[in-house]
Amino acid sequence: MNAELLALIRETGYLSGSPTLTDQARFDFLTTAFWRQAKALGYDIVELKRLLWRMSGRPMDALIAALPDAPIQKAVKATGKEKDPRKRIKETAAAIALLYKRAEKDIREAIDSNLEQPERMRAETGRIRRNLLMQSASWLGVAIPGMYLAGSRIGSLQGPHAKAAQAMAAQEYNRFKEVDAQIGRHVEEVIAEAEKRRTQATLAGSQVKVDYAGLRGRVVGHKTIDGKELGLADYINMVAITAARNVFNLAVENVMLSRGNDLAMISREVRANSCQACRDWAGKIVSISGKSKEYPSLQDAKDANVFHPHCIHFLEDILEDRYAGTGHYIGGAL
């Protein structure tokens, strides 16, 4: 069940407890705006209309049980059987990265085709941005608990584990909101620059054509401290991989703490493009608490820049050795 879809349904009045409402009147609360938002979440509107017509007037519990997952939730859950953490991290991230890749194209088209219509540019890109945030919330609602359960290997999220997963989901959602804000700034920068060029062309004479070179064909998803501009889809892929990896590792740490285990291994894979920190620390045993006199601490590894953004090294309790033979501890065939 998709929490965002249920929230949209609640807002319409469809779930009103009034006994005088007919099924048709209740269904009519589902306006064009509702169906547009449901479509943005990826739902098949024809099938959803049939479902909500059948469920009109039924108890909320029955509706919740009947509501399907959004496509992005299904995509994330499809990775749930993947036993290799590195592949699961990458495939979990790919589900949201693909959506942003498609949206990047849509935003670029909305900008390129509306350089002389700033209000329309704002409206079209704003609609895409709102849809992306809804999709991001859906992804986080499945990806974060799923990765936490994969790392912890507990049956369900309860107590401190549930709170930890919720905190991580909230933290990562803020990153997606930051990306949304950056898209908004990029749109406003394009609008301002386009207006400046139109003004200059007008002042230069009526026969001068406005030059929009450099404003078309790009969408900035993130600007680094040193001024480097990253594309939207590429940056989201990095954010999503990092988030999935961090949640997995946090779950490993928390379960080890709860069991009194202190020694973990950093996965051994090393690639041609692996940074020096990853090469130095891959396969090393670290102390979660930092109290071991024999092994370096996990914090030492983090301070050395292992687990940097986009890094897919993960932790394993050395008492489990559950990934031996998957390629990570025998040279890395994957």
Q: Which of 26-35, 245-254, 307-316 has the highest mean pLDDT?
A: 245-254
Count the Cβ atoms, other than its own, within 10 Å of residue 311.
17
- pLDDT of residue 53 exceeding 70, the answer is yes
- pLDDT of residue 319 exceeding 70, the answer is yes
Burial of 57 (0-12, 13-18, 19+ CB in 10 A): middle
Average pLDDT over residues 271-296: 89
Which pLDDT belongs to residue 312?
78
- Summarised one tens digit per residue, pLDDT across range 110-131 is 999 999 999 999 999 999 999 8
- Name the more confident of 256 and 17: 256
Of 58-67, 156-165, 290-299, give the lowest mean pLDDT range.
58-67
Domain borders along the chain are 3-68, 83-236, 262-334
Percent of the chain with pLDDT over 70: 90
Which pLDDT belongs to residue 69?
67
Q: How far apart are CA 181 and CA 222, in angstroms?
A: 10
Q: How far apart are CA 163 and CA 245, in angstroms?
A: 18
- pLDDT of residue 333 exceeding 50, the answer is no
- Summarised one tens digit per residue, pLDDT across range 166-181 is 899 999 999 999 999 9
Tokens of 297: 């601490």
Which pLDDT belongs to residue 152?
87
Indicate the pLDDT class of residue 215, thresholds 50, 70 and 90.
Answer: confident
- Summarised one tens digit per residue, pLDDT across range 234-250 is 999 999 999 999 999 99
Map 321-334 to HEC letters: CCCCCCCCCCCCCC
- Summarised one tens digit per residue, pLDDT across range 78-94 is 545 446 888 888 888 98
Burial of 68 (0-12, 13-18, 19+ CB in 10 A): middle
- pLDDT of residue 97 exceeding 80, the answer is yes
Q: Are 248 and 153 in contact (CB under 8 A)?
A: no
Percent of the chain with pLDDT over 90: 35
- pLDDT of residue 189 exceeding 50, the answer is yes
- pLDDT of residue 222 exceeding 90, the answer is no
Which pLDDT belongs to residue 158?
84
Who's near 136: CB < 8 A, 6+ residues apart? 96, 173, 176
DSSP 8-class letter at 226: T
Quote the mean pLDDT of the chain.
84
- pLDDT of residue 332 exceeding 80, the answer is no
- pLDDT of residue 208 exceeding 80, the answer is no
- pLDDT of residue 71 exceeding 70, the answer is no
Q: How far apart are CA 4 and CA 142, in angstroms?
A: 12
Q: Which of 45-49, 156-160, 185-189, 325-329 has the highest mean pLDDT?
A: 185-189
Which pLDDT belongs to residue 185?
93
Average pLDDT over residues 138-147: 88
